[in-house]
Amino acid sequence: MNRLLVVFIFTVIFSIGDGKFQCKNMRGKSVDWFVVYKLPKLSSGTTGKEFVYIDSESSVWTRENDINDANVAVGATISQAYSSDKTNNFAFMYSDDDPIKEADSYRGHAKGVSLFDSTTGFWLIHSVPNFPPLTSYSYPKTAEKYGQSFFCASMEVQHLTELAEHWKYIQATPYLINLPDKFATRFPTLRNVQAKQSLPRSATQFWISKPIKTVQGVTLMAYAKHKKFDGDIWNDLISKQNKVTLAVESWLNGSGDDLHTTCTDSSQTHDVTEMRVTGLNFASSKDHSKWAVSNSQTNPIVCFGDMNRQKSQLKRGGGALCIQNRNLWQIYHSSVIQVEPCKSSFHFSFFRTSLVFLVAKFMISFF
């Protein structure tokens, strides 16, 4: 009898856990985290709808054909917000270039979606302009031409404390926010986010970094900079804080002056110029995604964020969410085909240190 009771309780707990708001995989089932890389439209055979997918339960990219599918990964995750109970759940869509109004070049350069019930939820960071819609899922045709990035993490509701602070710092611009009283009372900073209130005039700290655990206990690091930080989040914050060389893929096609590869005694950040994803080579000019990979096998981090490496972005807020995962790191590290090198010969380039890593790996396997 006791054994049957234990089995029944376990079954109930498992079924409830699977039904909570979380990131959704390619089968529409809950998953701890996932990454989607929407491939650019290329003459070599992509239409602009194809994407590759990897999550906490897989080890290689899976290639799929339709980012517009509402039943898998990105679509299935975001679609939870459309059917959620507005009385009891917190929902948040934010973007500097949303599908409703003109782009906002004053507030944070950041795009994302978040949804929580009283127990769990997800935070999805993405790079897609005019996305997602307010009432039902679809992917904009205007965003098919270029590559785009998505990183989703499932987490317990108490992490809304850190998320709210992050969104306040970066000046996230809400175009949909549903904030029930019970969430506003428990997480009062969400009221600031809803009212578009950022830091007070008396503030002296213009960046924060916070650890956030996923549902399965993976520690992520969330980095946020306010516009008064007046620096590049990739080089002046993430590279320096982690003491790693970074290769950063970001949008460098705009009218703003590019920062270019930055190499100093305390940090080193390279602009990616060419990459290879599942056998497809394409230039950074074909890619609107925003991600970074370290060049350290002892600190194998991959970050997904909001900011481009352009001078215009130094005066805007934005953030990044970083994961330390060796398998994901190897995938992204190996996808970097070419970077802009350091101008000075006194600094190691991303590829010189990459070569050391590859030689060491070969020697270990040989012996």
The tens digit of pLDDT for each residue in 155-180 reads 999 999 999 999 999 999 999 999 99
Question: For residue 115, what are the β-bridge partners?
Answer: 91, 122
Taking 3-state DSSP, the helix, strand and coil percentages for the chain, each rounded to the nearest 5, stand at 30, 30, 40
Active site residue 288: yes
Give the β-pairing of 111-116 and 90-95.
antiparallel
Q: How confident is the model at residue 44 (pLDDT cuts 50, 70, 90)?
A: confident
**pLDDT-wise least confident of 127-136, 287-296, 336-345:** 336-345
pLDDT at 3 over 80: no
Question: For residue 341, what are the β-bridge partners?
Answer: none
| Beta-carbon contacts of residue 111 (< 8 Å; ≥ 6 apart) | 94, 95, 96, 97, 125, 126, 127, 128, 129, 131, 306
Cβ–Cβ < 8 Å for 304, 223:
no
pLDDT, average across residues 193-212: 97
The whole-number pLDDT of residue 353 equals 47
pLDDT, average across residues 62-84: 98
Q: What is the pTM of this model?
A: 0.91
Length of the chain (residues): 367
**Strand ranges, E, within 214-257:** 219-225, 245-249
**Strand ranges, E, within 90-197:** 90-95, 111-116, 120-126, 148-156, 174-178
Question: What percent of the chain clears pLDDT 70, i.e. is strictly above it?
Answer: 88
Set 260, 288, 333, 347: catalytic member: 288
| Averaged pLDDT of the chain | 91
Rounded CA separation 273/282 (Å): 9
pLDDT at 133 over 60: yes
Angle CA(86)–CA(88)–CA(89) in degrees, nearest 5?
70
Q: Which amino acid is at 97?
A: D
Q: How confident is the model at residue 348 (pLDDT cuts 50, 70, 90)?
A: low
The whole-number pLDDT of residue 343 equals 87
